Amino acid sequence: MEADKKNRLNQFIENPYISLWKLSLPMMLGMAVQAIYMLVDTALIGNIVGGSALASLGYVFPYFFIIMGISFGLGSGVTTFIAQQIGMQNKNRAELAASHTMLIAFAIYIYLMILILFGGEHLINFQGADNSAKELALEYFIPMIAGSIFMIINIFLRSILSGEGDNTFPMILMGIGTVTNLILDLPFIYYLGIKGAAIATVISQCLVSLIFLYQISFKSDTRSYLKIRFSFTIDPTILKEILRIGVPASFSMVIMATGSIFFNVILDADNHVAVLSTGGRIEHLFFLPIISIATSVVTLVGMFYGAGKINLINKIVRYALKYVLTISILFGILFYFNGGFFYSLFTDDPEIIYLGSEYFKVFSFALPFISVGMVCIRVMQGIGDSLPMLILTSLRVIVISCGLASFFKYYIGYSDVVYIWYSILVSAILTSVSAFTWMTIKLKSQKETTRDIKDSTI
């Protein structure tokens, strides 16, 4: 078993295309189970608690996206660093990076508890929620924040295993957590309302964290190539490198969450907020394969970059782009013609269903561009540069999307919400073109400045 793990790098080099699917498919399956949970959870909340609960989720979600974004961003820094170190055959530094990750997780949690718990009500009020939606939002918000440490730990532990090329075990644990959550959801929501949904989520996340930590810390000889050693000794060079890669990615996630808050304010109607937040959960079905492929690209590109295999990076990029484009076009067709049906699964409110259908008729055209942009940004991250992610996300969310939405509503005076959907489409197109161009230039530069060790098996 150990020999197999040590040879994982060689397996990836010998079969890069197969390796992409070996990494992507387990992650895809795990995320699919999680997505099904999210949809069932949303449907239960919408049908048991009521339509206003869907809006309350919309007011709360941006702040959880900030927490998840910071964790995923720093986690991607961990993934990239570990993948590069394994590519350079430096297991010790990879294990030190894994150990540093737990310290970062607790630091984030303490900071967020202080920042968010004391200002929770103000954060909801800021978005213009009415009293009913605000009360429901706070019922969900407080227990979720209190238990967010488990979510943060799980994200980081998945990042560690992803860096060493193992997405199968995290998939299994995601499945266990999701099934647990689904079992708890119905009775908890029925008796406790929206607060019950939050408590069920925290319990399931806690279970996953305990299994994760036990396996990686005490059973690493049979489960993981790397082992987490809990220590308060900090290597500044490792911490600096993780933060160098991860902080720009985290800020980009925070910017996306800020954009969601801005849209909640500019939409100024609970039904409109419900459309956007519910649409985000439905879209998650589409993003399952795209995120899985893009995340797997980070691992492969990081390892190939660390091993000096620049030619393999170019091959895997072309291969990944071909498949994400195919998937995005198929999902675009599905959402365009069935948007109203998907919304009807979560609410019987005719206005939300109609507006949701109109939303997907616009957003469907953005899917191929979002997919290409996501992969291109992840490629640059894999070679250790997360600055493009931050710059391009700022361009897409702040400059173009929010800027155009403000222009349509406040300058021209268009009150029709569909113009906000068009601003999202335009931002996706422009950002995708910029990301592809930037990645192409960067890869060409890397090929010229980095020694390319030819692989006779390719």
Each residue's pLDDT tens digit, 95-128? 888 878 888 888 888 877 777 667 667 777 766 6
pLDDT at 427: 93
Rounded-to-integer distance, Cα 89 and Cα 39, Å:
42
Q: What is the mean pLDDT of residues 289-311?
A: 87
Q: Say if residue 219's pLDDT is above 60.
A: no
Given pLDDT bands bounded at 50, 70 and 90, which one contains residue 7? Answer: very low
DSSP secondary structure letters along 143-193: HHHHTHHHHHHHHHHHHHHHHTT--HHHHHHHHHHHHHHHHHHHHHHHHHT
Q: Over pLDDT 70: what percentage of the chain?
A: 85
Q: Among 44-48, 139-143, 330-334, which is the least confidently predicted range?
A: 44-48
Rounded-to-integer distance, Cα 218 and Cα 222, Å:
9
pLDDT digits (tens, 9 = 90+) for 367-403: 999 999 999 999 998 888 888 988 998 898 888 988 8
User: In this structure, what are the phi and psi dihedrals at residue 421, rounded to the nearest 5 degrees?
Assistant: -65, -40
Q: Which residues contact 329 (CB under 8 A, 6 or more apart)?
A: 367, 368
Computed over every residue of the chain, the mean pLDDT equals 81
Q: Over pLDDT 90: what percentage of the chain?
A: 16
For residue 393, is it left (φ>0), alpha (ψ between -120 and 50) or beta?
alpha
CA R_g for the chain: 22
Rounded-to-integer distance, Cα 269 and Cα 281, Å:
19
Which is higher by pLDDT, 260 or 451? 260
